[in-house]
A and B are shown apart, each in its own frame.
Chain A
Amino acid sequence: MNRLKQLKPNDILSSTAVKSVISLLIALLIGGVILGVSGYNPLSCYGAIVKGSLLSPSALINTLVQMTPLMFTGLAFAFSSKSGLINLGMEGQMFLGGLAAAVVGGLDLGLPMIIHLPLTILSGMLAGGLYGLLAGLLKAKFGASEFIVTLMLNYVATFLCSYLANGPLREEGSLMAQTKTVLPSAQLPELVGGKNLTIALILGILLCVGIHLFLNKMALGYEIRAVGRNQIASETAGININKVTLTTMFVSGAVAGLAGVSMSLSGNNRFVDGATAGYGFNGVAIASLASHNPLAVILSSFVFGALRTGSLALSMTQRIQPEFADMIQALVILFVAMPALLTGLKIRKRRAK
């Protein structure tokens, strides 16, 4: 008995990393049950997912391609959460970021790549950032709940981009709702030839590290974390809450915008209406699994990138939609959000006695 106490099993179990892993496992288990009930062999399905996402060089590259935008949206949500804000507008911020990058990237200004590419990236960040800032302004000035506003802004952005891609910005002669391709001077250099894997991946990893440093080494980062943990104490300490709200929403939106940029400047090298749908909300799950730690976002976006890639591969051979991955992710959010995930089961046992 004494020995058990010294080991503190509760502390070990409640440590965030263990909790994340267990949440993921439970979610996969439930996914397996759903597959089983639907008449599929869960093991062979999961086998196909692993195979399709990790077990060959091209599969692995596909996973890294999928991981890239996910890392940005995951980082965007993790960052906003640090200040206690719930930015659910990554979807819209990403649409706008992607469209803005496609437009600026398509402008023939005769600029060399070294100027055109950064300009294009910045324009996407600015579009996403300003859209996030709009929600931040409504929050700071009018107290409007940021998560409902950002959710509604998603629909507005989606319709706006859809209109633009179908109308004024549509590529001449194209049957699809898409812009014209961006100039080579604005395309993200590829890491592996012809595989859509661009330096955006490196950029994303650097950004995760950068945000981590910002939060932990900068005075403003410190203020953001302080406000997120205890707004009243922060206010007492003279921290400007509105400034933190606006900064956070702008940065979070800009990072989400980068997700759109990374997709518009690779692959087809254009904005295709609806192509980025879903990546924004996946960010919530990625940040949850990472316990809102920017460095852990790298790992968790890899996990969900693999899941997404594997599910896409699975859907080629089975009647299982790639949305299966989204299902698992939603379950992960739920389980990670249970404060008593592990202890709760214990209490029930004790009561049963």
Chain B
Amino acid sequence: MGIESLLLTTLRMSIPLVIAAMGGIFATRSGMMAMGLESMMLFGAFGAVWCSYLTGNVFLGFLTGVLFGMVFGLTYAVLTIRFQVNQVIGGIALNLFTVACTTVLMQFVWGNAGNSPAVNSLEGSVNIGILAEIPVIGPVLSGMSINFYIAILLIAATTFVMFHTCFGLRLRMIGENPTAASTLGIKVRGYKYLAMLICGALAGFAGAYLSIDQLNMFSKDMIAGKGYIVVVMLALGKYNPVGAALAALLFGFSDALQINLQQMFSVPAQLVQMLPYIVTILVITFAVRHVKGPAGTGKLPEE
């Protein structure tokens, strides 16, 4: 037990948050609040385990997780854009639906509404020779799964797409002022749908990481508010990929800290488990007061 273990846990706990946050950036930047993130993650986690259970193939499991996430990303988009459901209410209702739905499905599939059986999951870690030799960081990195590197790639990719492609520019314009984008002939709704599909895919991936990389099973309501925490992280990171990733590290750290505290001292588990949530409340109260989301959040082009 020591700094290395704390670092390792921090990174591990941060990975899903980082991946989901990148999805959240696509959503938020296009003017869609990432309120449905929790449901996309949960359904992604469920899909991954289900597929791994049926096929025994972890790769297919991840793919299914991504697909399930996309389904809910699209659902959220249809509800809020086509049917004009308030984004907050829509997100909350979807999250409630997903928790209930996965529980019912678990009973159908596995005859147990609390946990799935253990399934094949991603095992082993990727070693990159040179990196492993760096002191302190080396041993930590050699313990990381491939998804660690994928998460880092995703940060770079999101930054590139958002700030260096025409797609990103249009998306940012839509998020700031959908009417302006529309008067320039940009198909605002289409771009928003696309953004939500990307968001759903990444959130589903993050969920799959939680269920078949970090664990090897699905359990009831296993996202436990991480989707909402990501929403707060996005604001803390000023809706920039690198900023949001750093914010994710803060929460990963608070999660790692509580795990280590549990192991090192005999602090009651429940008391330290509150830590990430309290950190979230502190952040939303004191750190993101003046951070504003895109000006056109929740708006559609005026007629």
Instruction: Decide if A and B touch, CB cutoff 8 A.
Output: yes
Q: Interface on A for B, CB 8 Å cutoff? A: 34, 38, 86, 88, 138, 142-145, 147-149, 151-153, 155-156, 159-160, 162-163, 166-167, 281, 284-285, 319-321, 323-327, 329-331, 333-334, 337-341, 344
Chain B residues positioned under 8 Å from A341 (CB to CB): 83
Known A149-B281, A155-B224, A160-B271; further 12 A-B contacts with Cβ < 8 A? A138-B281, A142-B286, A152-B229, A152-B278, A153-B281, A155-B225, A321-B106, A323-B99, A324-B104, A326-B100, A334-B79, A338-B84
Q: B289 and A143: CB pair below 8 A?
A: yes
The listed residue with most A CB atoms (<10 A of its CB), out of B94, B224, B270, is B270
C-alpha gap A331/B286 in the complex (Å)? 35
C-alpha gap A112/B88 in the complex (Å)? 47
Number of interface residues of B (CB under 8 A): 43
Min distance, Cβ B52 to any Cβ of chain A, angstroms: 21
A-B contacts, CB under 8 A, total: 130
Q: B274 and A160: CB pair below 8 A?
A: yes
Chain A: CB-nearest residue to B82: A344
Given A148-B231, A334-B79, verify A166-B108 contact (CB < 8 Å). Answer: no
By secondary structure, the A interface counts as: helix
A-B complex: 6 closest residue pairs judged by Cβ atoms? A330-B97, A326-B100, A163-B270, A333-B93, A330-B96, A327-B100
Min distance, Cβ B219 to any Cβ of chain A, angstroms: 14
Given A151-B228, A160-B270, A337-B90, verify A38-B285 contact (CB < 8 Å). Answer: no
Chain B residues positioned under 8 Å from A149 (CB to CB): 281, 284-285
Given A284-B92, A334-B90, A338-B83, verify A152-B270 contact (CB < 8 Å). Answer: no
Q: A144 and B85: CB pair below 8 A?
A: no
Chain A: CB-nearest residue to B39: A330
C-alpha gap A331/B100 in the complex (Å)? 11
C-alpha gap A34/B229 in the complex (Å)? 31
Question: Can you list 21 contacts pairing A with B, beta carbon distance less than 8 Å?
Answer: A34-B104, A38-B108, A144-B281, A148-B231, A163-B270, A285-B96, A321-B107, A324-B100, A325-B100, A327-B101, A330-B94, A331-B97, A333-B96, A334-B94, A337-B93, A338-B83, A339-B83, A339-B85, A340-B83, A344-B82, A344-B83
Min distance, Cβ B108 to any Cβ of chain A, angstroms: 5
Chain A: CB-nearest residue to B271: A163
Chain B residues positioned under 8 Å from A142 (CB to CB): 285-286, 289
Decide yes or no whether B89 CB sits under 8 A from chain A: yes
Decide yes or no whether B86 CB sits under 8 A from chain A: yes
Chain B residues positioned under 8 Å from A327 (CB to CB): 97, 100-101, 104
The listed residue with most B CB atoms (<10 A of its CB), out of A152, A160, A162, A167, is A152
Q: B85 and A334: CB pair below 8 A?
A: yes
Interface residues of B in 97-130 (CB under 8 A from A): 97, 99-101, 103-104, 106-108, 111, 113
Min distance, Cβ B98 to any Cβ of chain A, angstroms: 8
Decide yes or no whether B273 CB sits under 8 A from chain A: yes
Decide yes or no whether B277 CB sits under 8 A from chain A: yes
Q: Which of B79, B224, B277, B285 has a CB less than 8 Å from the CB of A138? A: B285
Chain A residues positioned under 8 Å from B231 (CB to CB): 148
Chain B residues positioned under 8 Å from A160 (CB to CB): 270-271, 274
The listed residue with most B CB atoms (<10 A of its CB), out of A143, A323, A324, is A323
C-alpha gap A334/B88 in the complex (Å)? 11
C-alpha gap A338/B90 in the complex (Å)? 9
C-alpha gap A133/B294 in the complex (Å)? 30
Chain B: CB-nearest residue to A157: B274
Chain B residues positioned under 8 Å from A334 (CB to CB): 79, 85, 90, 93-94, 97
C-alpha gap A338/B274 in the complex (Å)? 35
Q: Interface on B for A, CB 8 Å cutoff? A: 79, 82-86, 88-90, 92-94, 96-97, 99-101, 103-104, 106-108, 111, 113, 224-225, 228-229, 231-232, 268, 270-271, 273-274, 277-278, 280-281, 284-286, 289
The listed residue with most B CB atoms (<10 A of its CB), out of A145, A148, A160, is A148
Chain B: CB-nearest residue to A341: B83
Q: B284 and A148: CB pair below 8 A?
A: yes
Chain B residues positioned under 8 Å from A148 (CB to CB): 228, 231-232, 280, 284
Min distance, Cβ A120 to any Cβ of chain B, angstroms: 25
C-alpha gap A116/B289 in the complex (Å)? 44
Q: B274 and A159: CB pair below 8 A?
A: yes
The listed residue with most B CB atoms (<10 A of its CB), out of A281, A330, A331, is A330
Min distance, Cβ A95 to any Cβ of chain B, angstroms: 12
Chain A: CB-nearest residue to B279: A152
Chain B residues positioned under 8 Å from A330 (CB to CB): 93-94, 96-97, 100
Q: Which of A34, A155, A319, A324 has a CB less than 8 Å from the CB of B277? A: A155
Q: Which of A38, A152, A166, A340 has a CB less than 8 Å from the CB of B84? A: A340
Chain A residues positioned under 8 Å from B88 (CB to CB): 86, 147
Chain B: CB-nearest residue to A145: B284
Q: B104 and A337: CB pair below 8 A?
A: no
Min distance, Cβ A262 to any Cβ of chain B, angstroms: 22
Chain A residues positioned under 8 Å from B94 (CB to CB): 330, 334
Min distance, Cβ B72 to any Cβ of chain A, angstroms: 12
C-alpha gap A144/B281 in the complex (Å)? 9
Min distance, Cβ A39 to any Cβ of chain B, angstroms: 8
Chain A residues positioned under 8 Å from B99 (CB to CB): 323, 326
C-alpha gap A337/B224 in the complex (Å)? 25
Chain A residues positioned under 8 Å from B268 (CB to CB): 163, 166-167
Min distance, Cβ A13 to any Cβ of chain B, angstroms: 16
C-alpha gap A338/B19 in the complex (Å)? 31
C-alpha gap A323/B106 in the complex (Å)? 11
Min distance, Cβ B235 to any Cβ of chain A, angstroms: 9
Chain A residues positioned under 8 Å from B224 (CB to CB): 155
Chain A residues positioned under 8 Å from B229 (CB to CB): 152
The listed residue with most B CB atoms (<10 A of its CB), out of A284, A337, A338, is A337
Q: A323 and B96: CB pair below 8 A?
A: no
Chain A: CB-nearest residue to B280: A152
